Chains A and B, each alone.
Chain A
Amino acid sequence: MIASQRKAHKFIWLGLSILIAALLVLVIKDLDFSSSTLETQKGLPFEAMRSENSIVLVKLNEPLKTPSALVYEINANKELGAVLGELNGKGEYKFTLSKNAVGITVIDKIKNQKIYTTTF
């Protein structure tokens, strides 16, 4: 490397080391290492887990018999909030909750029937 490139490398890496380290500290402080498992409802193939950083993980252990399954947020007034997404089959689903969410509910919109509800 020529002298100017050596100098540039030095300042780039000093800057990056400080900047990335500071950002990582902020990000790691925001991570949640203790996700809490919510109650599973007996007889239903659901498991839901929420972490403090507003992510809810819904695990569907077997396919549902209902024709549709929309996941709704339950807001602070215990009312139905925004639609988070749809469950299509067995697997893991992740949804981002709004700040005032207190739970989720899964509804079959065709039969207009609640399939699963959990609050945090």
Chain B
Amino acid sequence: MGLDYKFVLWNKHKKTYDKFIALGMVLYLILFFVLTLVTNAELTVETIIIRAFGSLAIIVLHIILIIGPLTRLNPKYLPILYNRRHLGVSMFLAALVHGLFSIINFHTLGDKNPIVSIFTSNMDYGSLHNFPFQVLGFFALLILFVMASTSHDFFLKNLSPKIWKQLHMLVYLAYALVILHVFLGAFQQETSLFTIGILILGFLMISGLHVIAAFKEGKIDSAKGELDSNGWLKVCYTDEIEESRAKIFTVKNERVAIFKNEDKLSAIHNVCKHQGGPLGEGKIVDGCITCPWHGYQYLPHNGQSPPPFTEKVNTYELKVLEGIVYINPDAMAEGTEVAPIVC
């Protein structure tokens, strides 16, 4: 949450997160270099750099892709989601080193433009075992570049969260391109059961977690509630919601968080305007609903960020009858004041 844009809005948690990223990446590179020099000393430095940074980028991409479904399946993984953007940018930088060294090594010594050479040095596009796999890597790198360069609140705000999220979902296409880049390229030239096994395991883990999380979310979405005579949805008993916490319900296919604050209930749309974080998994801090992802805050009674901030979410009307909480399924406009209901 900030009033102006800074290149990186550092805080203690981000610094800790980034130290882990940097340390992990450096350790991996050192280990890769040492092991390669011990086991295959004849490789040139360029080849080792290409392999080290390429494999590093793939590993980090796998970590990035499992964070989302992991947190949807179990909120205890939320801390690793906190600064996923920096992980993404770090992964792009590793992929960039791999791509640049590959282009310099394989495409700059001829008489063609290196980029043209990527597309034309091998024209066997109809073959599986001799497919010009570098083209796939090139397109994946382009997607990662667009994503890394827009990984900032400035673009999130100006593109709108919906467009920004759609743009960043291109990472799934990049992943598919990367997988095929490796299988049609490196593995065709140097077939190793171990590395193929690792990558297949990675693919099964990522796709499995995403599909399981999607079905879990789908089950929650399709849960049918009981309506009263006025069309209000019965959701829970008042004592099921902890003080300063929320319970999340699905209302007309959208998630709504009902918070209890000083024994009064308020309902707001569950999706944070910043990066789509689940507000209902956060808690009330200093009277404000606080997003568990990045700490964006909203007032429970009107869904507005406290001044001078301008984010707003939908609010919902509630009523309590004999200890049972009912919600009007029709959302109020973003930022509409709704008086909290006494339990």
Which residue numbers of A lie inside 8 Å of B, CB to CB? 1-3, 5-6, 8-10, 12-14, 16-17, 19-21, 23-24, 26-28, 30-33, 35, 51, 53-55, 59, 90-92, 94, 96
Contact = CB atoms under 8 A, between A and B. Distances in A.
B210 A13 contact: yes
25 contacts: A1-B165, A1-B276, A2-B271, A3-B254, A5-B165, A5-B276, A6-B218, A9-B210, A10-B215, A14-B214, A21-B203, A23-B180, A24-B183, A24-B200, A26-B128, A27-B184, A28-B196, A30-B188, A31-B187, A35-B191, A53-B188, A54-B129, A91-B44, A96-B122, A96-B130
A51 B176 contact: no
Interface of B: 42-44, 122, 128-130, 162, 165, 169, 172, 175-176, 179-180, 183-184, 187-189, 191, 193, 196, 200, 203, 207, 210-211, 214-215, 217-218, 221, 253-254, 271, 276
Residue with the highest number of chain B CB atoms closer than 10 Å, among A9, A28, A96: A9
B11 to A, nearest CB: 25
Contacts of B221: 3, 6
Specify the main secondary structure of chain B where it touches its partner: helix
Contacts of A17: 207, 210-211
Given A19-B176, A24-B203, 11 more contacts: A1-B165, A6-B221, A8-B169, A13-B207, A13-B211, A17-B210, A26-B128, A30-B128, A30-B188, A90-B42, A96-B130
A31 to B, nearest CB: 5
B196 A16 contact: no
B85 to A, nearest CB: 17
A6 B215 CA distance: 10
Residue with the highest number of chain A CB atoms closer than 10 Å, among B162, B187, B188, B253: B188
Contact of A55 (B162, B188, B207): B188
A92 B218 contact: no
Contacts of B271: 1-2
A31 B187 CA distance: 8
A51 B44 CA distance: 22
Nearest to B193: A33
Contact of B196 (A8, A31, A92): A31
Contacts, number: 94
A10 B129 CA distance: 32
A47 to B, nearest CB: 11
Residue with the highest number of chain A CB atoms closer than 10 Å, among B128, B165, B175, B215: B128
Nearest to B209: A13
A117 B200 CA distance: 38
B176 to A, nearest CB: 6
A30 B253 contact: no
Contacts of B44: 91
Nearest to A52: B129
A55 B179 CA distance: 21
Contacts of B128: 26-27, 30
B224 to A, nearest CB: 15
A88 to B, nearest CB: 11
B334 to A, nearest CB: 13
